[in-house]
Amino acid sequence: MNDFKKLGLSNAVLKSINEHGFENPSAIQEKSIPLILAGEDVIAGSATGSGKTLAFASGILQNSEKGKGIQALILTPTRELAEQVANSFRDFSKYDPLKIVSIYGGVGINPQIKALQSAEVVVGTPGRLLDHISRNTIRFNNVKTLVLDEADHMFDLGFKVDVEKIIKKCPQNRQTLLFSATISKDVVQLSRKHMENPVRVSVESYIDPQKLNQVVYKVQDDMKLSLLVHLLKNEKSNLGMVFCNTKRNTDKVAKNLRKVGVNALAIHGGLTQNKRTHIMEEFHSGNISVLVCTDVAGRGLDIQGVSHVYNYDIPRESKQYIHRIGRTARAGAEGKAINILSKNDHANFMSVLKDNDVNIKEHALPALKKIVIEKPGRRLPKPVNKMKTPSRKGQQYTRHRNR
Ligand code: AMP
């Protein structure tokens, strides 16, 4: 706790940190909070799970006053992240409350217009914020701090132009804080254009290799689901996230998992906001134990207690691998990332190995009971037992990048 005091945080924030039971500042908090409190523009290389929300909240909570309009704007790539960040802000401001409003599409605009009239901190996604700007229902002239949260993800989703439009609506003499898991060319370009002598801080890696066990199983395409079911039923797991590359696959996998008694739900961008919120509540409360998701839905979500990440499909973009496995082994907990590799995933897996600093061990395929994937409109044939020949064991894929 003393280490938090040394960073210069206010008593109100320290009290809520104490209540959360955080013992020491995380690496990114230690490095960025003193700079943020000193009013510097900061580019922070860190991802969800690193404690970045408290880092950018610290300055905003200390510099904002009740009744003085919107003094902080936080841009997030997804609705879920906006909700998550807004909720964290509410927690951290418990002893010096501010009105924190989250703004995103897929829900009614009128309640947002009303809430914005008394907001001091706004957390939102670019599309709906632009909608409010065009309706003149949001004013940024009192904004002192602008945060771009998960900037790389925002650019991946094609929000670059929208983000710039919003930045231009904020006062020039503001503080700008940019948080991003990867510092891409777009991130650097944006910082050159819109930040004042930014100080760059980063934490070595947000994955603790000691705590994260990465494995790969090689399997025939038609046995992927059988392997997943076997692992879900045999691994000592708490909560699991299963990543697929398409919405269609997430629905198919979740449906077939439920058929064999695994408590799973799919989440992806094709669902309504209400449905997505409901699914997240079910997962947070532990009512469902497996979340099957696409990268867009899964990234940035702060879900406590994810012990296993399964790559049912190996991601097409190798950097997504890092985002996916970052859902587990967080805040000092142990985690396991399991790659289910069939012939179709081979090229993607090679890119993951080439582009990332990862250590993935090959495990022998266990004896599997074949599960027939149900296709809509077809009767299921009777299940058959199919034992697969175990593959080579103990092969290890390691690649270290020069740091
Ligand atoms: P974030 O990176 O902001 O999404 O934070 C990830 C999780 O870590 C959240 O659940 C926070 O409540 C938690 N957290 C933030 N700071 C600390 C800390 N210093 N010690 C332990 N947990 C923390």
pLDDT tens profile 9-40? 999 999 999 999 998 898 899 999 999 999 99
Pocket test for ligand 1, best of 302, 306, 323, 330 (most atoms within 8 A of CB): 302
Q: H or E element: which one contains 20?
A: helix 11-20
Q: What's the confidence (pLDDT) of residue 202?
A: 80
Using 50, 70 and 90 to split pLDDT, how confident is the model at 375?
Answer: low
Return the higher-pLDDT residue of 333 and 230: 230
Residues 209-260: pLDDT tens digits? 667 889 999 999 999 999 999 999 998 877 899 999 999 999 999 999 999 9
Q: Write out the two tokens for 257.
A: 């998992």
Which ligand 1 atom minimizes the distance to the CA of 20? 12
* 5 touches 14 (CB < 8 A): yes
* 68 touches 125 (CB < 8 A): no
Which ligand 1 atom minimizes the distance to the CA of 50? 2
**Centre of ligand 1 from the C-alpha of residue 54, in Å:** 7
Average pLDDT value for the chain: 87
Mean pLDDT of 362-377: 81
Q: What's the confidence (pLDDT) of residue 400?
A: 46
Using 50, 70 and 90 to split pLDDT, how confident is the model at 386?
Answer: very low
CA distances from 392 to 9, 218, 231, 353 (A): 54, 9, 18, 19
CATH (one of 3.40.50.300, 3.80.10.10, 2.60.40.1730, 3.30.830.10) for 2-202? 3.40.50.300
Cα angle: 361, vertex 354, 340; to 5 degrees: 40
Least trusted range by pLDDT, from 162-171, 190-199, 203-212:
203-212
Residues of the chain with CATH 3.40.50.300: 2-202, 212-399
**Centre of ligand 1 from the C-alpha of residue 88, in Å:** 9
The domain made up of 212-399 is a member of CATH 3.40.50.1450: no
Residues 77-135: pLDDT tens digits? 999 899 999 999 999 999 999 999 999 999 999 999 999 999 999 999 999 999 999 99
Handedness of CA 273, 336, 326, 238 (dihedral sign): positive
Q: Is the pLDDT of residue 153 over 80?
A: yes
Q: Is the pLDDT of residue 48 over 90?
A: no
- Distance, in Å, from the CA atom of 131 to the CA atom of 111, rounded to the nearest integer, reads 14
User: Which protein residues touch ligand 1 with a CB less than 6 Å away?
Assistant: 22, 25-26, 29, 48-54, 302, 331
Which ligand 1 atom minimizes the distance to the CA of 302? 4
Which ligand 1 atom minimizes the distance to the CA of 25? 19
- Distance, in Å, from the CA atom of 145 to the CA atom of 66, rounded to the nearest integer, reads 15
Which residue from 119, 178, 179, 109 is spatially nearest to 143, judged by alpha carbons? 119
Which residue from 178, 170, 65, 52 is spatially nearest to 119, judged by alpha carbons? 65
351, with CB counted inside 10 A (0-12, 13-18, 19+), is middle
**Centre of ligand 1 from the C-alpha of residue 91, in Å:** 12
